[in-house]
Amino acid sequence: MTGSCHGLPRTESSSYRQPKDLPKHIVSHYREDKPNIAANHPNVCELEAGTYYWCVCGHSQNGSFCDGSHKTTPFTPQKFEISETQKVAICQCKQTKNPPYCDGSHKVL
Ligand code: FES
């Protein structure tokens, strides 16, 4: 599985960083009840068929796909499937009502 999105999507695996390895800014500015706004625009890209995990906490280094940063938060990544290669707009503001896809909510932040 590969894709041309910014930040190569990954499935969950044991290769993710552990909480002790997370950057200090994630721990020190973490708000328990709100996801971090990774960017105020979507990640528009082409994804191949496969399984992906959308970053829900907003702390992933690529903003779109889980990199394990949620492990110190109450959030969990959202699994989604792509059945055939297609262009998508992945939400990075974490305010969409149609996750993981952008619904324009970033325009009113
Ligand atoms: S980037 Fe989140 S709704 Fe557009």
Give the pLDDT score at 105.
Answer: 95
Indicate if the pLDDT at residue 58 is higher than 90: yes
Cα separations in angstroms, 14 against 3, 61, 68, 104: 21, 17, 9, 34
Give the pLDDT score at 26.
Answer: 46
Q: How far is the CA of 7 from the centre of ligand 1 (A)?
A: 17
Indicate if the pLDDT at residue 13 is higher than 50: no
Min mean pLDDT across 16-25, 52-61, 84-93, 97-106 is at 16-25
Cα separations in angstroms, 73 against 47, 68, 70: 27, 10, 5
For 20-50, the pLDDT digits (tens) are 444 444 444 455 678 999 999 999 999 999 9
Nearest CA to ligand 1 atom 4: 102
Q: How far is the CA of 13 from the centre of ligand 1 (A)?
A: 26
| DSSP per residue, 48-99 | -SEEEEE-SSS--TTSSB--SGGGGSS--PEEEEESS-EEEEE-SSS--SST
Give the pLDDT score at 80.
Answer: 97
Indicate if the pLDDT at residue 4 is higher than 50: yes
pTM of the model: 0.75
Radius of gyration for the alpha carbons in the chain, expressed in angstroms and rounded: 13
